[in-house]
Amino acid sequence: MTLSAARKTIFISGGASGIGLATAKLFASKGWFVGLGDIDQAGLAAAVSALGTDNAMGVALDVRHPADWTSALGAFEKATNGRLDALMNNAGIARYGWFEDIAADEANLEIDINIKGVINGAYASLEALKRTPGSTLINVSSCAGLYGASKLAVYAATKFAVRGLSESLDIEFSRLGVKVRCIMPWFVETPILDAGARGTNKAIRDVLKGANFPVYTVEEAAQVVWGSLEAPGLHHLVGKRAKDLRFAARFFPNGIRKQMKAGLAGS
């Protein structure tokens, strides 16, 4: 397969489902060639089949391992003649429950995927991004990177880290001609909502439903990713609830904390 030199390209980690797949579909519809990296081989095959091999390719990728990144991006860049207009660090997991109830190995898995995976992706893609004019590194953080929440302590820590990394790289990469964007969704309809607390049958989606909190669609998140390429600024929030939380976290941080602690009685 030989791509037109003018055809733009994006590589997405965690691209077999959720926000990653929705973003792949949107970018492909805009004429971009899409690379999908994931550990879910069946999901990758289904995604590429849906998008068409003229528009997408799938490669095995465990974001925890730099060698996997080297192999995956090497295969993608071979197909795109070295062009990489955007790299989207999207792969992530969540574990839900009180801090002391989540096993240390599960917390470390969150750290390995959500933080180390993003750092690995930034390292592996930088040379290709540098040689592609107008390129963008897109990191998916979360509203959990705006304000900590109970039963999501380590997850929130990882998303604060992604936010901090993005803010630092936004400064550094400006000298290299590479833009950085940090996507910060409120809760989106993805498998992460099925994460359950140990010893209960209550998942994140149950808590959201009980509190009448909105859940946004993956398509809404994908539109924010698309818009972030041309819109100014580093942080791009998904959903009105995300924007409300950013405002409250900035101006009323103590009020949020008191409200959260008051709500623990029914947890």
* 93 against 206, higher pLDDT: 93
* pLDDT tens-place string over residues 145-164: 998 888 999 999 999 999 99
The reply to whether 35 falls in a domain is yes
Pairing mode, if any, of strands 136-140 and 86-89? Answer: parallel
pLDDT reported for residue 49: 97
Q: Which domain does 191 fall in, by range?
A: 9-266
Domain count, the chain: 1
Specify which residues 34 forms β-bridges with: 10, 56
The reply to whether 72 falls in a domain is yes
The reply to whether 208 falls in a domain is yes
Q: Where are the beta strands (DSSP E) in 61-154?
A: 86-89, 136-140
| Alpha helical stretches, state H, 96-233 | 104-111, 117-130, 153-172, 204-210, 218-228
Please report, rounded to a whole number, the percentage of residues in the chain having pLDDT higher than 90: 76
pLDDT reported for residue 266: 54
The reply to whether 239 falls in a domain is yes
The reply to whether 162 falls in a domain is yes
> For residue 262, is pLDDT > 80?
no
The reply to whether 118 falls in a domain is yes
CATH number for the domain including 170? 3.40.50.720
Specify which residues 86 forms β-bridges with: 10, 136
What average pLDDT does this structure show over 236-249? 90
User: How many CA atoms lie within 13 Å of 189's alpha carbon, on the beta-carbon side?
Assistant: 9
* pLDDT tens-place string over residues 59-110: 999 999 999 999 999 999 999 999 999 999 999 999 999 999 999 999 999 9
Q: Is 96 a catalytic residue?
A: no
**Of 96, 123, 147, 155, which residue is the catalytic one?**
155
